[in-house]
Structure 1
Amino acid sequence: MASNRPAPEAPFVPSQRSSSDSETFGYGSYHGDEGPWQEWNPTEESIAPVRGKHRVAKQRTGGGGFARSSTVLGVGVIAAFSAGGMASANTGKPPVSISMPDLPSVGSLISDDDSGQDAGPALANFGSEAPAATDQSGAADAGEALRERIMAQAESQQTQVADRAQAAAEATAAKAEAAAVAKAEKEAEAEAAAAKEKAEQAAKEKAEAARLAELAKQYTLPTSSYTLTATFGQAGAYWSSGYHTGLDFAAPTGTLIKAVHSGTITEAGWAGSYGYRTILTLDDGTELWFCHQSSISVSAGQKVSTGDVIGRVGATGNVTGAHLHLEVHPGGAADGIDPLAWLRSKGLNP
């Protein structure tokens, strides 16, 4: 820490003060309680020489010279004390370098030239640092560059956000489009399958119609000018089994009965409750029973073709009126099947 050498105490108290001394020390009169005072002129031994390139001029013994030298000494003490105090206060931090500017006017202030020049303006700037030269244009350019970097970064972030949003929207649209395409394809496949199935069904129906048309050429209805009065399986007390076992074609007595299909007559004669009955056996073994005839036109063992007359409608046996009772027994089985369904399967529509 910089410090000044203490000045020696005054050896005596002056008995009388002149007006010039009062003006020098700034008092209107002497005060005894302020201690003994004497005029003190600094010498090279009592004050440290000024460092640097400035020299200390020879001190004058006059009142004005002492005032100027005291002012310079006080300023130096204050500067040194300030530097030392700051250094000691900041003990927890590294020492701060303090530069003391050169005082080009100090030498002139304490020189032998008693020109009466005012020292105030020269000391006014003592201890103040000269403003650092700043390149304002360079700072402005740096600030502008920083601003441009920030704006570019913000724009880049906004662009990235927009790009991500656009990518998400495109992905959603692509997903929706793919779903729509898949749905359309599925619907198209379903429609194609339905159309194919419909076409196949139509083809089957057409083939069946063609087959039935061919069969219809080979099969015929057993009589004409008839009315269906009782169907297969119909319940009633008229039948010993409790239900009807055939299909009844009601027609006037004497109406012709024809062979439904080509085959062989295996039975022709009286059959009890069936009256006069003729049995026609087809090539596949199916037996057709023609019952309640008024007369029989064929005999057993005879070959017949489709449409040949085999008898006439009558009312023989267990009947309530003239009609043809037709039964169908596949393979000669004792139990018959529905004659209406069988005739339809051969392309006939009773």
Structure 2
Amino acid sequence: MAFTRANGKHRRPGRVARAGTNVGVAALATTGVVTTLAGPAAAHGAPAPAGLRQASVMGDSLAHVVDAQAEAQKVAAEAAAAQARTRAEARRSAEEARRIAAEKAERKREAEERAARARERKRLNTFVLPVKGSSVSTGYQASGGAWSSGSHTGIDFHADPGTSVHAVGAGTVVEAGWGGAYGNNIVIKMRDGSYTHYAHLSSIAVSVGESVTPGKQIGLSGSTGNTSGPHLHFEARSTAEYGSDIDPVAYLRAHGLSL
């Protein structure tokens, strides 16, 4: 009996079909993803293979990490900038505070210096009695034979021997030493151009050219020269020379003293 072969039903796969199958298997073995001979379902939007889905998920996760890192860096940069601004503002505030304090200290110093100068001017313009707590024993221009001019050229203050004698105001010593009938005497040129004279001293504590201030001790009272007893002879003069005397009581009163 003769056998015949039906066409197609039991035909062995062709070379082309086998080759295509081998290529697909090789690609799957190498990459885990089928890249050739995709079936009809893949061509019409069927779900992607597991390998592609995993790669997509991993890509999304990496993107989120990168975005989070970028956001964190941005926040850190903004925080650092804010801290820098805060430090700069603090420095400016501190510098301003130091400037204000320095200006305040300078104004205070200047005010204190002005006040000190004012006190010094007042002190230098202040007059005091030549003998503290004393009074006048012989007045100005008293007459009598005791004085070569025929009258008293000054005033006498009660003063026991060794009593402190003071400059009545600020000035410069122009004479200090023996003065004949005046005994040990001192002449001071005052700041206003007038002169004051202190006579019959037991000792002298200043020298010519020395500056004196009101109340400075210039010597001690005594009875040297032409005198009948211890006292202080005081004169006010328009010049340093004898004979230029002016009323010493009026002079002292004009400088704020009471006699």
Between Structure 1 and Structure 2, the one with more strand by share is 2
Relative distance call for 1:270 and 1:332 in structure 2 (3 A) is closer
Q: 1:239 to 1:331 in 2, by over 3 A?
A: closer
Contact 1:268–1:279 at 8 Å: present in 2 too? yes
User: Alignment identity in percent?
Assistant: 41
Q: Which of 202, 205, 221 in structure 2 is aligned with 1:313? A: 221
CA distance in 2: counterparts of 1:289 and 1:295, whole angstroms: 15
Q: Distance in 1 between matches of 2:206 and 2:123?
A: 24
State the one-letter code of the partner of 2:248. P
Q: Counterparts of 1:238-277 in structure 2 under 5 Å?
A: 238-277=146-185
> 1:215, 1:346 within 8 Å by CA — same for their partners in 2?
no
Following TM superposition, by how much is the alpha carbon of 1:332 offset from its aligned partner in structure 2, in angstroms? 3.7
Task: Determine if contact 1:287/1:329 at 8 Å carries over to the other structure.
Answer: yes
2:258 paired residue number: 349
Is the contact between residue 124 and residue 214 of structure 2 (CA under 8 Å) also seen in structure 1?
A: no
| Cα pair 1:218 1:306 within 8 Å, conserved | yes
* Whole-angstrom CA distance in 2 between matches of 1:332 and 1:313: 21
* Contact 1:280-1:288 at 8 Å conserved across structures: yes
Which has the bigger relative contact order, CA under 8 A and spacing at least 6? 2
CA displacement 1:282-322 (0-9 Å, x = unmatched):
12221101000010000000011111100011000010110
How far apart in 2 are the matches of 1:220 and 1:259?
Answer: 8
- 2:199 paired residue number: 291
1:281 Cα deviation after fit: 0.5
CA contact under 8 A between 2:124 and 2:213: conserved in structure 1?
Answer: no
- Residues 276 and 293, structure 1, Cα contact 8 Å, conserved in 2: yes
Query: Larger Cα Rg: Structure 1 or Structure 2?
Result: 1
Q: How does 1:73-112 map to 2 (within 5 A)?
A: none
Q: Aligned partners of 1:247 and 1:215: how far apart in 2?
A: 25
Counterpart CA distance in 1 for 2:123 and 2:212 is 17
Counterpart Cα distance in 2 of 1:217 and 1:270:
29
Q: Which residue of structure 1 aligns with residue 247 of structure 2?
A: 338
User: Is 1:233 paired with 2:141?
Assistant: yes
Q: After superposition, what is the alpha-carbon deviation per residue over 1:131-152, rounded to whole angstroms, capped at 9, x for unaligned?
A: xxxxxxxxxxxxxxxxxxxxxx
Would the aligned equivalents of 1:284 and 1:331 in 2 still touch at CA under 8 Å? no
Give the conservation status (yes or no) of the 8 Å contact 1:254–1:294. yes
> Does the residue aligned with 1:218 lie in a helix, a strand or coil?
coil
Unaligned stretches of 5+ residues in structure 1: 1-213
Structure-2 change in CA distance of 1:216 and 1:303 (3 Å)? closer
1:226 deviation in Å?
2.3
Aligned length: 137
Displacement over 3 Å in runs of 4+: 214-217, 331-334
